[in-house]
Amino acid sequence: MENNTYLQRLIFLAGEHALPHAIIIEGKNFISIKDYLSEVLENAMCKGSNEKPCKKCSDCIKLKAGCHPDVKFIEPEKDSKSIKIESIRNIREDAYVVSNEGGYKFYIIKNGELLTVQAQNAFIKILEEPPKNVVFIICTEFLSALISTIRSRCQIFRFLENEDLDSDVEKLGENFVKAILDDDKVEILSLGGKIPNDRIFFKQLINVIIELLIKNCDKDSLNEKLVEKIDVLENVLKMLERNVNFNLLVCTLCAKI
């Protein structure tokens, strides 16, 4: 069983085109999980020739717009609180058809705990003969709501609780702000080495630092130096959006702040 905190491994496997065909992501915060899933999908589907995701190819653009024909989200039918066997039968028919864009096809179940037992049993039949290049991702708050035969056929990834992630980001953010205010370059470099190679963590960290620095700015006499620092941080965020290499992001942050 996998126990991966930041789902980084999934993003890596996506880039290597080595994703398992059936994945369970256990975690409470679907919004954060979805951020990671976007990265997984981009890395798996991007057809850019250089660094991936390129954010420019048709796959990247369709993913960003939320309209990629090879990514399907499965939710309960209207007026229903569960995902019924019919939905799974529809997937079964669809999954064996080759993808629109010739690459991976993804079926993502947002609330796996809403699958009825009949639906889960039907699902096992697909997992027993997995279609080529198809990845099923079941997200769930309650792993125990899935029957054991499904669990044993999926690779299970745990998503770190949001509070834990928040406290890590905040602690590091506070330390950064202290070092920035003290203008302690050595400490800034050492803190840079503690940033996990995780773009979403990094984005949250930069936002925490900006927020704390703004709190430190006296509104009447905006400290020019701090305003400069905030500019640097906002530039780093823009670089992150442009998908600049992670090490370069950290170097820029530490050198210019």
Instruction: Please state, in angstroms and rounded to a whole number, the distance separating the CA atoms of residues 169 and 153.
Output: 34
For residue 221, how many other CB atoms are within 10 A of its CB? 7
Task: State the nearest-atom distance from the C-beta of 137 to Zn ion, in Å.
Answer: 20
How many CB atoms are located within 10 Å of the residue 83 CB?
23
Tokens 């309650």, located at residue: 142
DSSP assignment, residue 79? T
Complex with Zn ion: residue 26 or 39, whichever CB lies closer: 39
Residue 50 or 221: the one with the smaller Cβ distance to Zn ion is 50
Q: Does 165 bind Zn ion (CB under 5 A)?
A: no
Say whether residue 46 binds Zn ion (CB under 5 A).
yes
Which one, of 10, 2, 5, lies nearest residue 43 by Cα?
Answer: 10
- Left, alpha or beta for 80 (phi > 0: left; psi -120 to 50: alpha)? beta
Under rule CB under 5 A, how many of the chain's residues touch Zn ion? 6
Instruction: Tell which positions 51-110 bind Zn ion, by CB under 5 A.
Output: 53-54, 57, 60
Query: Residue 80: what are its φ and ψ, rounded to 5°?
Result: -125, 150
Between 221 and 240, how does the x/- string for binding to Zn ion read (CB under 5 A)? --------------------
- Pick the stretch among 50-58, 79-87, 202-210, 239-247 that binds Zn ion (CB under 5 A): 50-58
Q: Which is nearer to Zn ion, 101 or 170 (CB)?
A: 101
Other CB atoms within 10 A of residue 219 CB: 6
Q: Which amino acid makes up residue 178?
A: K
- Rg of the chain in Å (alpha carbons): 21
Residue 54: CB minimum distance to Zn ion, A: 4
- Of the candidate spans 40-48, 63-71, 142-150, 153-161, the one that interacts with Zn ion by CB under 5 A turns out to be 40-48
Q: Which is nearer to Zn ion, 35 or 101 (CB)?
A: 101
CA distance 214 to 235: 16
Minimum distance between the CB of residue 63 and Zn ion, rounded to whole angstroms? 8
| Nearer CB in complex with Zn ion: 64/132 | 64
Identify residue 254 by its one-letter amino acid code: C
If the CB atoms of residues 15 and 53 are measured against Zn ion, the closer one turns out to be: 53
Question: Residue 162 has what DSSP assignment?
Answer: H
Measured from the CB atom, the residue of 57 and 71 that comes closer to Zn ion is 57
**Residue 48 contacts Zn ion per CB under 5 A:** yes
- Could you tell me the CA-to-CA distances from 67 to 64, 78, 126, 148, 245 in Å, in that order? 8, 20, 25, 33, 27
Minimum distance of Zn ion from residue 10's CB (angstroms): 18
205 binds Zn ion, rule: CB under 5 A: no
* Least separation in angstroms between CB 254 and Zn ion: 29
Applying CB under 5 A, the span of 12-20, 22-30, 38-46, 248-256 interacting with Zn ion comes to 38-46
- Secondary structure of 13-28 in HEC code, one letter for each residue: HHHCCCCCCEEEEECC
Catalog residues that contact Zn ion under the rule CB under 5 A.
46, 48, 53-54, 57, 60
